[in-house]
Structure 1
Amino acid sequence: MKFSSALRLATVAAAALALQPAFADEGPLLVRVRVLHLDSANKDSTGLGLSINNKTFPEVDFSYFIAPNIAAELILTYPQKQTIYSNGTEIGSLKHLPPTLTLQYHFNPTGTVRPYVGAGVNYTNFSSVEFAPAVQTALHPSIKHNSWGAAWQIGADVEISKGTYLNFDVKKVDLQTTVYANGASAGKFKVNPTLASVGLGWRF
């Protein structure tokens, strides 16, 4: 009797394991290293013709699969230095640190090609803001150091070997700051970048 009960329990357990999604075999964590290109929209309402340079830099992200189709992704990099221009003339520089958190839906979580879409929030901290001496004397400029905005993404992971993926990803981020001159608001500078990246990912 005890052997029969144990056999039934083992059979049920085996059936339950067989029904587990394939992602459980891979593990819930996907770590990617990517090369990212920032293309700024450079929308300026100050009348100063402000812009920053486009830039390519590395980033790393961590995706945790809550369910086979659902993952949360945290995108990180180190502070990036950008040049500030006014009507094409260099007037200063700044650094920005832009961690982004998104919630993703993966359409084909066990296939070779695994497309996804995501939406979430970006937080950017501006630091090391410097202006040319002539600009500093004339305008005493400054900027708001924190920005919160929405983020959207579309991408795909392509399995190239077991647990290893080639990743393609494009994000659009709402990123802006208030510009001040002589202590008064002069308007908004909207970076609102498009971020295109390619890299490798490993599933654990």
Structure 2
Amino acid sequence: MSRRTTQLAAGLLLIPALLTTSAVYAHQAGDTIVRVGVAVVDPQENSDDVIIGGANTELEVGVDSDVQLGITGTYMLTDKYGIGILAATPFNHDINLNGVGKLADIKHLPPTLTLQYFPMAAGAALQPYLGAGLNYTTFFSEDFTSANKAAGFSDLSLSDSWGLALEAGVDYQLTDKVLLNASVWHVDIDTEATFKVGGAPAKVDVEIDPWVYMLALGYKF
């Protein structure tokens, strides 16, 4: 047998092994993927005017961005479809009264559930995906700054929100278990803030509608 024939035969014998190696990178039905990393919430807020005692102040509010630990999970229903969840440690935001300055601090949690679609072939190491689903955002620890409390601001409360969520992301398998992930969400979050100023009732409606960005390291079970 010639050297060339021997090399060709050896190459053919390697094909099943290569296919097996590729297959272990697949996202397959029954897999659970957990990703942990840095998540950024970047509000794209649109505020109505603040109303105090029925009078329009013509002032609006703004919401700062924040960075926290993000956690996502995917359970693969089939080789192509999965259920995804977004969670995080509580995000802390400054609420600003535009043209005046910082008004208050708030915290929120935005758990989000999506149906994800993975279009690539099952054995591909690079697995982009798209998702759509529902977000629930709960606000808590709403607190005016000390200066605003002294000025008569009190009883701040933000209503919880239900809204649609869209996502896009990509997993890159480093091994059959470990992967890198980059993902982005756009979330519909609307809230009404109610409070008092000198005893007079006040409110403002805000569409927060943030972009959420995340870079993470993942593990597949």
- State the SS of the aligned residue for 1:161: coil
Aligned residues: 185
Residue of structure 1 in register with 2:215 after alignment: 198
Letter in 1 for 2:110: P
| 1:71-99 alpha-carbon deviations (Å, 9 max, x no partner) | 00111112222111111511110110111
Are 1:127 and 2:140 an aligned pair?
yes
Are 1:165 and 2:179 an aligned pair?
yes
Q: Provide the alpha-carbon RMSD of the alignment.
A: 2.5
TM-score (norm 2): 0.75
Which of these residues, 165, 170, 191, is aligned with residue 177 of structure 1?
Answer: 191
Residue of structure 2 in register with 1:45 after alignment: 48
Residue of structure 2 in register with 1:107 after alignment: 119
TM-score (norm 1): 0.81
Q: Which moved more, 1:183-192 or 1:43-52?
A: 183-192
Are 1:154 and 2:177 an aligned pair?
no
What runs of 5+ residues in structure 1 fail to find an aligned partner?
1-19
Which of these residues, 156, 163, 166, is aligned with residue 142 of structure 1?
Answer: 156
Deviation at 1:141, TM superposition (A): 5.7
Q: Which moved more, 1:152-161 or 1:76-85?
A: 76-85
What is the CA–CA distance in structure 2 between the aligned matches of 1:27 and 1:71, rounded to whole Å? 9
Which of these residues, 80, 99, 119, is aligned with residue 91 of structure 2?
Answer: 80
Alignment check: 8 A CA contact 1:52 1:82 kept: yes
Aligned residues with identical type, % of pairs: 28
Which of these residues, 107, 110, 119, is aligned with residue 98 of structure 1?
Answer: 110
User: Rg larger in 1 or in 2?
Assistant: 2
Residue of structure 1 in register with 2:7 after alignment: none
What runs of 5+ residues in structure 2 fail to find an aligned partner?
1-22, 50-57
What is the CA–CA distance in structure 1 between the aligned matches of 2:74 and 2:68, rounded to whole Å? 20
Q: Which moved more, 1:178-187 or 1:144-153?
A: 178-187
